[in-house]
Amino acid sequence: MFVHQHHLRHLLRPEHYTSEAQYRAELRHLFLPAWHPVATAGDLRRPGDFLTLDLLETPILLRNFDGQLRAFLNVCPHRHSKLTEKPRGRTEQLRCQYHGWEFQEDGRTARIPDAKAFRPWDRENACLRRFQVATCGELVFVKLTDGGPSLREWVGPLWELWQSYGGAYRHAATWAKDFPCNWKVVLENSLESYHIPQVHPHTFKDFPPETNAWHELTERFTSFKTMEPDEFATRMQHWIVRRLGEKVTGEYWHRVLHPHATGSSLDSFRMMQCVFPTGPTTCRYRCIFFTLRGHRRNPLAWALYRGLRSVATMVGKKVFAEDGSIYRGVQQGMAASPHRGVIGTREERVYVFQKYVLENARGAQELPVADGELVESSRTQAFDLGGDSRPLRVRLVFLHRLLHLPDGPLHAYEDGPADDRVADVQLLDAGDPDDGLHVPVVQPVAHVDVKPEPDRVGRRRPQLLQLRRQGRRADRL
Ligand code: FES
Ligand SMILES: [Fe+2]
């Protein structure tokens, strides 16, 4: 059952899939605060195992230190070499490939060849940059910024489910591919079943009727559930699942945790797919695939597990390739499109995703141009100037851009990033009327100054705020 009964507006415009500014905004606001599934614990099973990857323009090295997983920037503090360029391997020590500096599990240096040549020692600048790393089931996640929610808080309601990646399910394969398209092209394709008859005529054949399709739409994630069709391949699969000692539900689930972590599952497999932007019109799509092992330990169960693993992996890769065949064409069409686009009810998860992008990837030039008028709102704020002065009270006037969505309340987007969005400052009250408009007095509110940028409504001026008091205009900041 779909949530919406009428078609929806395509909220993102073609330029959102091509512009450098939008790409930068998404990196900063959507991806840097996020946790990213990048590997499995099995990839780093033994002490000394490591792997490297490029994640959001950042070279990463993941390593097992006596059972503890650590993630570092793969850049040496000595003279900037990558510590290693090998995609994976195992070493006794974490050692830079260039001059052989060695590092401990907290990122501090261990042995340094000819260490006396570096006296006096600059301890602070000789440490590897560390990143947060955590696991959910067998999945290893990395986060590139400090602080923020823990992995458990980030994954939220999907935690229990994603913990099942591991246990009865075993890692079968990981594959990745670069595509010449914006990352949202890949993600939006995964969010709808509408393309199935055209793109997967032999693997999936047809999309399920609405009566066999359930959508769940939330701000953090969206889900799609359908019951498997009653056909020979399904019955065969269910027989194997039972022989491996597991329960059959017959459910297919697909969930996307915004912005990009995509889990899908049948009784026979678990899959984690994740698309990472590598530029405005390029991305890397990684798939980590698990198949059912079950809990039975006998020769038949082993043979069935091996057979299931090889067939399911083959089908998974085939579906991945089928979807991959259309991304380039969508991106090329995007670059030349005069249309606004439209979203059908079967594609309503795309709409929720686009709304999420609009509401969260925001910044000055980064803010998508939305339809609707500009409106003002204001807030009074007091600034303590210290000394004997009475607090300075000012009214901060904000500009909002209203985006009219067809089926919901009006959404207001502040016309600028959080610390740079004040359109006007009105001085209401100050300690001394005579000095009230001079630079020293207004300095405490200087952080609300606007950036020098062309404005859309002619009210902002670079480095110049108009202060108004009792009808009198004056004074530069
Ligand atoms: S650059 Fe790494 S040891 Fe010199
Ligand atoms: Fe598909």
What average pLDDT does the segment 49-74 reach? 97
Tokens at residue 467, please?
A: 């202060």
Taking alpha carbons only, the member of 281, 34, 8 closest to residue 142 is 34
What average pLDDT does the segment 313-331 reach? 96
- pLDDT score, position 428: 54
- The residue contributing the CA closest to ligand 1 atom 3 is 99
Could you report the per-residue pLDDT of 398-457, keeping only the tens digit for each? 554 444 333 333 333 333 333 334 455 555 554 444 433 322 222 222 233 333 333 343
Q: Is residue 94 part of a domain?
A: yes
For residue 415, report the distance from its CA to the centre of ligand 1, in Å: 45
Tokens at residue 476, please?
A: 């530069």
Same domain, 323 and 414: no
Q: Is residue 22 part of a domain?
A: no
For residue 75, report the distance from its CA to the centre of ligand 1, in Å: 9
**97 Cα nearest atom in ligand 1:** 2
Could you report the per-residue pLDDT of 231-253, keeping only the tens digit for each? 898 999 999 999 999 999 999 99
- The residue contributing the CA closest to ligand 1 atom 1 is 79
SS3 of residue 332 by DSSP:
helix
- pLDDT score, position 452: 31
**79 Cα nearest atom in ligand 1:** 1
Taking alpha carbons only, the member of 187, 185, 209 closest to residue 197 is 209
What average pLDDT does the segment 182-196 reach? 97
Q: Is residue 23 part of a domain?
A: no
For residue 205, report the distance from its CA to the centre of ligand 2, in Å: 11
Same domain, 290 and 192: yes
Q: How far apart are CA 459 and CA 467, in angstroms?
A: 13
Q: Fill in the DSSP letter of residue 129.
A: P
For residue 193, report the distance from its CA to the centre of ligand 2, in Å: 7
Q: How far apart are CA 194 and CA 190, in angstroms?
A: 10
pLDDT above 70 covers what percent of the chain?
A: 76
CATH at residue 88: 2.102.10.10
Sign of the CA dihedral with 410 first, then 411, 415, and 418 last:
positive
- Mutate which of 61, 74, 78 for ligand 1? The one with the most ligand atoms within 8 Å of its CB, which is 78
Helix boundaries (H) for 65-130 = none
- Return the beta strands (E) in 30-100 as ranges: 35-40, 49-55, 58-65, 68-73, 88-90, 94-95
- pLDDT score, position 144: 96
Q: How far apart are CA 93 and CA 103, in angstroms?
A: 7
Same domain, 414 and 352: no
Point out the domain boundary residue: 321, 338, 367.
367
Q: Is residue 216 part of a domain?
A: yes
Q: Which helix (H) or strand (E) holds 433?
A: none
Same domain, 234 and 321: yes
Q: How far apart are CA 183 and CA 280, in angstroms?
A: 8
Q: Is residue 188 part of a domain?
A: yes
Could you report the per-residue pLDDT of 272-284, keeping only the tens digit for each? 999 999 999 999 9
- Split into its structural domains, the chain has a count of 3
Same domain, 474 and 443: yes
**pTM, whole model, 2 decimals?**
0.77
Q: How far apart are CA 438 and CA 427, in angstroms?
A: 11
Same domain, 375 and 315: no
Which amino acid would we find at residue 299?
P
Q: Is 113 exposed, middle or buried (0-12, 13-18, 19+ CB in 10 A)?
A: exposed
Mean pLDDT across the chain, nearest whole number?
82
Q: Is residue 154 part of a domain?
A: no
- The residue contributing the CA closest to ligand 1 atom 4 is 99
Same domain, 12 and 134: no
- pLDDT score, position 265: 95
Q: How far apart are CA 247 and CA 249, in angstroms?
A: 6
Q: Is residue 155 part of a domain?
A: no
Point out the domain boundary residue: 336, 367, 398.
367
Same domain, 73 and 208: no
- pLDDT score, position 426: 54
Q: Is residue 160 part of a domain?
A: no
Residues 6+ apart with CB under 8 A from 120: none
For residue 186, report the distance from its CA to the centre of ligand 1, in Å: 38
- pLDDT score, position 204: 84
Q: What is the CA radius of gyration of the chain?
A: 27
CATH at residue 359: 3.90.380.10
pLDDT band (50, 70, 90) for residue 361: confident
- Mutate which of 61, 73, 81 for ligand 1? The one with the most ligand atoms within 8 Å of its CB, which is 81
- The residue segments making up the domain with residue 423 are 369-477
Helix boundaries (H) for 64-194 = 151-155, 159-163, 183-190
Helices and strands of the chain, counted as H and E runs: 10, 24
Same domain, 232 and 264: yes
List, chain by chain if needed, residues with CB within 6 Å of any ligand 1 atom: 76, 78-79, 81, 96, 98-101
What average pLDDT does the segment 455-472 reach? 30
Q: Among the bound ligands, name the one nearest to the CA of residue 84.
A: 1
**99 Cα nearest atom in ligand 1:** 3
Could you report the per-residue pLDDT of 73-121, keeping only the tens digit for each? 999 999 999 999 999 999 999 999 999 999 999 999 999 999 999 988 8
Same domain, 362 and 374: no
* Cβ contact 78:114 at 8 Å: no
Point out the domain boundary residue: 314, 342, 367.
367
Same domain, 307 and 439: no
Same domain, 131 and 142: yes
For residue 197, report the distance from its CA to the centre of ligand 2, in Å: 9
- pLDDT score, position 388: 61
